[in-house]
Amino acid sequence: MLQVTVLRESREEVKQKLAVKYFKQPELVDSIIALDDERKRIQAEFDQIKAKVNAASKDIGKLMGQGKKEEAEALKSEVAQLNPQLKPLEEKMTAVEKELHDTLVQLPNLPADIVPPGKTPEENVVVREGGAMPSLPEGALAHWDLAKKYNLIDFELGNKITGSGFPVYIGKGAKLQRSLIQFFLDTNTDAGYVEHIPPFVVNEDSAYGTGQLPDKEGQMYFVNEDNLYLIPTSEVPLTNIYRDVILKEEELPVKMTAYSPCFRREAGSYGKDVRGLNRLHQFEKVEIVQVVAREKSYEALDQMVAHVEALLNKLELPYRILRLCGGDMSFTSALTYDFEVYSAAQQRWLEVSSVSNFETYQANRLKCRYKDSNGKMQLAHTLNGSSLALPRIMACLLENHQQADGAIRIPQALQPYFRSETIG
C-alpha cells in the first residue's frame, strides 16, 4: 500500500508512474489526498472541542474547590453542549478513514525507474540468456508423453480424484519431484536462507498483508466456513511472520525459504498452453523471501536473481532473464525479473520463476518496520522469488534431457538426491 505522504509530495510523478503500469484511475490519487484533507479537518475539529471539554472540566473542579458554584455550573452547561458534538465527529472520522483506506488499496505499487515501458509480455526486456540449447533426438516427446511412457505422472487419475490441474506423481516421477525440492532447499539454506514450514492456509489479514487481497481474491481457493485462504505461494505466510513486528537494523536482512504446495484457481485458463504441467491448480514450489533495510533492497534483489540463475545452471537448462515491462508487472511489485526456461520439445519458453522487489508496499500493509542506526522508525523493504517452481522445471528436465536411446538424463547436481543417472 502506498503512503499518503508520497502521494502528497509527488502527486504528478505518482500519476506518471501509475501510467507506466497502465493504471486506468489516476484520479484516485486526487481523491485520496482530498479524503486525507477531510480526515485532518475532522480530526482538528474533534481535537479542538475535546481540548475545550478537558480544559473546562479541570476549571470546574477548581471553581468548585473555590466555592464558585455559579461559575462552575455555567461551565458544566458549556460542556453539556460540547460533548454531544464529539460522537458525530467520531462517526464521521471512522467513515472517512474507511473510505480513505478502501481507496488507497486500489492503487498498485509504483514501478521502479528502470522498469521498461510496455503493456504486453512481448515488450519485456531480455536481460541475458544462459545455458546451452539442447539438440533433441529424432522423435523426441513432450513431457506429457514422457510422463505416460515411464509412468511418472498420471494426469487422468488426478482429474478423476479432483479435477483437471491436479496431477498425481508416481514412482520415479514422485522421486524426481522430491529430489528437486530437497536440492532447492539445501542450496537455499547453504546461501543463508532459514528454512521454514509455514501453514498452507492463511487468514484474511495475511492475504491482505502481502497484497493478494483485495486484488486477487478470485484466483485463490477459499475455505468459506473458516474464512481462510489456501496459499498461492509460501511468500504469503513467510512474509506475514513479520506482520506488526518492529525489527532492529542489525537483525536485517531476514532471509527465509520454504517448500509448500501452492493453490491457484487460474480461472479462464485453457488450450494447449495449459497442457500437462504447463499450468496447474495445485503445484509445488520452493520460495525465498527477504526483509531488508530500504537502502539495501536492490542489492538484495540482484543477489536473489543471481541465486536463481545459479540453480538453473546447475540443472543444465537453457534460460533467459526478463525485466518485466510496466503493463506485465504484478499489482504489488516495484521491479520484477522473470526467469524462463526453453522447452525444446514444445519449442517455447516457459516461466519458472519471478523475483520481485516490493519496496515498502507490502511492509506498509504489514506494519513491518525497523529502527535504523539513528533510532528512527522505517518501513522495511520486502522481496521474494521462486527458487524454484516445480512443474515447468520438471517438464523442461524431462524434455530437454532426452537421450537418443529414449532415456532421460538426470543432471549431475540432482543425482545425489535421485540416486540414479537416468530414467528409463
Known binding positions? 233, 264-266, 287, 351-354, 384
Q: Which three cell numbers stand for residue 410?
A: 538426470
392 catalytic residue (yes or no): yes
Sequence-distant contacts of 82-91: CB under 8 A, at least 24 apart: 82/49, 82/52, 82/53, 82/56, 83/53, 85/49, 86/46, 86/49, 86/50, 86/53, 89/42, 89/45, 89/46, 89/49, 90/46
Q: Give the residue among 400, 387, 311 at the shortest CA–CA distance from 354.
A: 387
Q: Which residues pair with 261 in a beta bridge?
A: 284
Provide DSSP, 322-380.
EEPPGGGS-SS-SEEEEEEEEETTTTEEEEEEEEEE-TTHHHHHHT-EEE-TTS-EEE-
The answer to whether 257 and 287 have CB atoms below 8 angstroms apart is yes
Q: Of the residues 264, 320, 323, 365, which is catalytic?
A: 264
Question: Which residues make up each annotated binding site for ATP?
Answer: 264-266, 351-354
Q: Of the residues 354, 356, 386, 387, which is catalytic?
A: 354
348 catalytic residue (yes or no): no
Q: Which residues pair with 383 in a beta bridge?
A: 290, 357
11 catalytic residue (yes or no): no
354 catalytic residue (yes or no): yes
264 catalytic residue (yes or no): yes
Question: Which residues make up each annotated binding site for L-serine?
Answer: 233, 264, 287, 384
Specify whether the backbone of 193 is left (phi greater than 0), alpha (psi in -120 to 50) or beta.
beta
Q: Looking at this protein, which amino acid is placed at residue 343?
A: S
Q: Of the residues 279, 323, 365, 369, which is catalytic?
A: 279
Residues carrying an active site annotation: 264, 279, 351, 354, 392
